[in-house]
Amino acid sequence: MAIESYNPYTGRVLRRFRAFSWAKTERILAQAHRAAAEWRTTSFAHRARLMHRAAALLRERQDELARLMALEMGKPIADGRAEVLKCALTCDYYAEHAEQFLADEEIKTEAQRSFIAHEPIGVVLAVMPWNFPFWQVVRFAAPALMAGNVGLLKHASNVPQCALALEQVLHDAGFPPATFRTLLIGSDLVGRLIEDDRVRAVTLTGSESAGAEVAATAGRAIKKTVLELGGSDAFVVLADADVALAAKTAAQARMINAGQSCIAAKRFIVEKPIIREFIAQMKTHLLALRTGDPLEETTQFGPLARPDLADELTQQVEDSVRQGAKVELYGGQSKPGTALFRPMMLSNVKPGQRAYSEELFGPVALILEAQDADDAIRLANDSRFGLGAAIWTKSAQRGEELARRIEAGAVFVNSLVKSSPEMPFGGVKKSGYGRELSHLGIKEFVNQKSIWVGGEAPVAKKKVE
């Protein structure tokens, strides 16, 4: 089996890699398992020095790493640089805070002393997607390594050069090679890895179906999982919102990574009195965006990562239109089998349409009309997904009150939904479970061990004659 690095802009195969055999994969797993026993004994100070060095290397290599993303999955080079810098920021964040996050927690009991210790569990397998080839991995790897775990990465098969480049960054930073390895394997070997007792936990970012399969396998093997799956994020615009700012941000939110982001806004739920104004302004902003060669600095959105993804998105749109959706902005593919997909807007999106119930992983904005704020919240929650959401209103207090009613892992009031190292990231419902980032993320893959220290045995009193 070959793993191909394919340029979606030119349609050319850049490099082919021979997939690892199970024998080679098992050999790397054995090395990682041995390394875990040593790595867990290192100090936080030592790990932090290496993690800070990794951050520095990411900053030094931002241009070449951004170029790899442009070539392998079509990300505009300016966006790629921003992604690498965000990875560096996160490495520094965990280097600075891991010891504090994992400090013993004193618990008052009848014991002489009792506390919770946070200890590493060993080898963590990460199954990662192509849309943010470095960020998705670093947000698992930085906390895992700082906690004293070791990582094995099974990256998406269309970004092998990105996967190997990140491995090189960590090795050049001084991390022992076996503490982080990239496995160039197909999905056929993932189950065998999960079933192996030397793998102690699994984290996956990807599709609903992939998450269900990994979770089922891990469940049979009695292993912890963290799943970050799909999203169909609601972007709620109330009648009292700043429509101009909301529409401008909406276009930006829909076009993050050419719309290929779990937390890119997808469903724009707008109160009836302002819906036509909102559509007109958002359309203007979408039409102003420039596409082109991802290696050009002026390119604002590139192609989708693969032609088959554009074909599938086209089918979802066509089916939805047949089911009653109305096209507000024409775009899409110029012809089948091409990866470039220009922005589209659909209105009259109703139950029974694919656009209403499915995640559209690309630059298609769905407009839903709400009668009032309560109706907007109902529509926002009428989804099997629950990753992120945004609410736009001039009343911050009202926005906060409504945010508490939305079923999602994160809700942003008058702001673009994004991830950051300080705040936990993850979803509810079919968007997955568990959290990455913040102090919660580093605690997902540690043994939260209760330690109870009893008092000394009482000394017998001497009998007085």
Which ranges of 255-364 does DSSP label H, i.e. alpha helix? 275-288, 307-322, 354-357
* Band of residue 91 on the pLDDT scale cut at 50, 70, 90: very high
User: pLDDT tens for residues 156-195?
Assistant: 999 999 999 999 999 999 999 999 999 999 999 999 999 9
User: pLDDT tens for residues 223-256?
Assistant: 999 999 999 999 999 999 999 999 999 999 999 9
Beta bridge partners of 113: 453
Q: Is 155 left (phi over 0), alpha (psi -120 to 50) or beta?
A: beta
pLDDT value at 76 more than 60: yes
pLDDT value at 465 more than 50: no
At residue 47's C-alpha, the angle toward residues 43 and 49, to 5°, is: 115
Beta bridge partners of 265: 233
What beta strand segments (E) does 216-372 contain? Answer: 224-228, 233-237, 265-271, 326-329, 344-347, 364-370
Q: What is the pTM of this model?
A: 0.96
User: pLDDT tens for residues 408-461?
Assistant: 999 999 999 999 999 999 999 999 999 999 999 999 999 999 999 997 655 555
Question: What b/e string do you get for 417-431 counting C-beta neighbours within 10 Å, with b at 16 or more?
Answer: bebebeebbbbebbb
428 contact partners, CB below 8 Å, separation of at least 6: 386, 407, 408, 409
| Distance from C-alpha of 2 to C-alpha of 382, rounded to nearest angstrom | 42
Tell me what pLDDT residue 298 has. Answer: 97
Q: State the greatest distance between any 2 C-alpha atoms of the chain, in Å, as a whole number.
A: 106
Tell me what pLDDT residue 464 has. Answer: 46
Percent of the chain with pLDDT over 70: 98
Of all helices (H) and strands (E), which one includes residue 181?
A: strand 180-182
Tell me what pLDDT residue 460 has. Answer: 52
Residue linked to tokens 């017998």? 460
- The packing angle between helices 44-60 and 160-172, to 10°, is 130
Cβ-in-10-Å burial (0-12, 13-18, 19+) of 12 comes to exposed
User: pLDDT tens for residues 190-231?
Assistant: 999 999 999 999 999 999 999 999 999 999 999 999 999 999
Mapped onto helix, strand or coil, the DSSP state of residue 165 is helix
For residues 109-131, average pLDDT: 98
* Band of residue 65 on the pLDDT scale cut at 50, 70, 90: very high
User: pLDDT tens for residues 349-402?
Assistant: 999 999 999 999 999 999 999 999 999 999 999 999 999 999 999 999 999 999
The catalytic site residues sit at 228, 262
Tell me what pLDDT residue 2 has. Answer: 80
Nearest to 392 by CA among 417, 359, 371, 368: 417
What is the overall mean pLDDT for the chain? Answer: 97
Strand order in the sheet with 446-453: 105-106, 113-120, 446-453
Percent of the chain with pLDDT over 90: 97
Tell me what pLDDT residue 455 has. Answer: 76
Tell me what pLDDT residue 263 has. Answer: 96
For residues 74-102, average pLDDT: 98
